[in-house]
Amino acid sequence: MLKHTPTEIAERTALRINPAKTCQPIGAMYASLGIHNCLPYSHGSQGCCSYHRSHLTRHFKEPVMAATSSFTEGASVFGGQPNLLQGLNTVFTTYNPDVVAVHTTCLSETIGDDIPQIVGEANRQGLIPEGKVVIHANTPSYVGSHVVGFSNMCVAMAKYFATEIETKPKSGDKIQVNIAPGFVDPSDMREIRRLAEGSGLKVTMFPDTAGVMDAPQTGEHVFYPDGGVTVEELRNLGRGVATLGLGRYASREAAIEVEKRARVPREILDLPIGIAATDRFMKVLQFRGGQITKDVERERGQLVDLMVDTQQHFQGKKVAIFGDPDHVVAMSEFARDLGMIPIHLLTGTPGKAFGRRMAEIHGAKAEQLNIKHDSDLFLLHQMIKQEPVDLLIGNTYGKYIARAEDIPFVRVGWPILDRVGHHLMPTLGYQGAIRLLTKMLDVLLDRRDRDAPDHLFELVL
């Protein structure tokens, strides 16, 4: 399918081919689903909302509930205020959510709809019942990426709910930490919570899609699953001793907003993928009053043992990694720690912080790497044709490059559309690193077995 991708790279300033990202509203919708009893609301055309819902459903294999203003030609010309007013009235009357999280689309952003003004008008008309809340985030699809949209909705959570709380915890109360987990799967949020709560801390995670996008099959439809951060928890963000933002792109701005509004200091960390990043995460928990348990020490020891046992299979292998910037940063560090050489590192999300963080992680070697932000998979394919790799890591869209260039491929990140169950298995923390390492080693050894002559086709590793 991609056999005719040219090796020679030409400068492109106004064209993206197979972009390594999707649009802001999808990220905002996913973040909204991490609030308990929340209904995401897409202020734009019905087609936009349908696409965003279906794309999330294809990854999580879960139904995604969301409402839309259903713009037609009239709203596109004269503005969407009547649509949003009628929509909010319908949503609260029919579906009774605790929170409606409004995000914009290309169309409403181009028109210039003033969402706070429209929500204020809804309040004046009595369309928002007492005790219910409408929050909003501006998420124009023509800038940023789904990661930016996720970040913007997390900022909205802090902006609408976080307040300074002066009352001190009582003696014997657990120390609270707030965690903005980043654009990760529900299983990863569970793993982050397990590590933090296992250290003896109380955790307020926002958003938290565990229990929402991985709800069990019970035979009965539940419109609002049990999971998600509650409004009460969001209003108590000010009780935290710190807000840990995991991922500079997805969580940094939300942590800053909590600090600004609730006077809770922020700690910005990489996603805890691999041993080094997880070590840093655990050290921050310890610094904030947590205790490293024997169980966690054992998990780390098992990871170290596995890294030592398999080092010869990773040493010197070249790897290309693409996807969300926070994932690529952390995965490149883990690949380095395994002895691999991360040659091509690419994200579709814009932002020079990507290159700066890569330089911090890889030091002088960063100058020898192809580090690209705001880019696409067409360029990644060209770079791989110029300098082949032994392993490709990224989301489902990498399968075409992997097939064209006959490269072992590991699916990591979002979206994974052609496999099932990935969102149920964490890639964060020490246990997630063990799973990632095993997946990477499996595909490398599958390649070795496939290509081995009979006399080297070994039974035992």
Q: What is the mean pLDDT of residues 190-208?
A: 97
Q: How confident is the model at residue 56 (pLDDT cuts 50, 70, 90)?
A: very high
DSSP 8-class letter at 229? B
In this prediction the pTM is 0.95
pLDDT at 358 over 70: yes
pLDDT number for residue 167: 75
pLDDT at 201 over 90: yes
The neighbour count for residue 263, using CB atoms within 10 Å, is: 13
pLDDT number for residue 107: 86
pLDDT digits (tens, 9 = 90+) for 135-175: 999 999 899 999 999 999 999 999 999 999 987 677 778 99
pLDDT number for residue 1: 58
Round to whole Å and give the CA distance between 211 and 37. 12
pLDDT number for residue 163: 96
pLDDT number for residue 458: 86
Q: Which residue, 187, 179, 232, is CA-closest to 207?
A: 179
- The pairing of strands 341-346 and 370-372 is parallel
Round to whole Å and give the CA distance between 254 and 249. 10
- Compute the mean pLDDT over every residue in the chain, rounded to the nearest whole number: 94
pLDDT number for residue 402: 96
Q: What is the mean pLDDT of residues 404-431?
A: 95
Cα(first)–Cα(last) distance of the chain, in Å? 35
What is the amino acid identity at position 366?
Answer: A
Domains of the chain and CATH, by start: 24-143 (3.40.50.1980), 176-287 (3.40.50.1980), 294-455 (3.40.50.1980)
CB 118 within 8 A of CB 85: yes
Q: How confident is the model at residue 78 (pLDDT cuts 50, 70, 90)?
A: confident
Round to whole Å and give the CA distance between 393 and 171. 48
Q: What is the mean pLDDT of residues 258-268?
A: 97
pLDDT digits (tens, 9 = 90+) for 214-250: 999 888 888 999 999 999 999 999 999 999 999 999 9
pLDDT at 75 over 90: no
Round to whole Å and give the CA distance between 301 and 332. 21
pLDDT number for residue 168: 66
- The pairing of strands 341-346 and 318-322 is parallel
pLDDT digits (tens, 9 = 90+) for 434-451: 999 999 999 999 999 999
Which range has the top average pLDDT, 10-24, 163-177, 266-280?
Answer: 266-280
pLDDT number for residue 454: 87
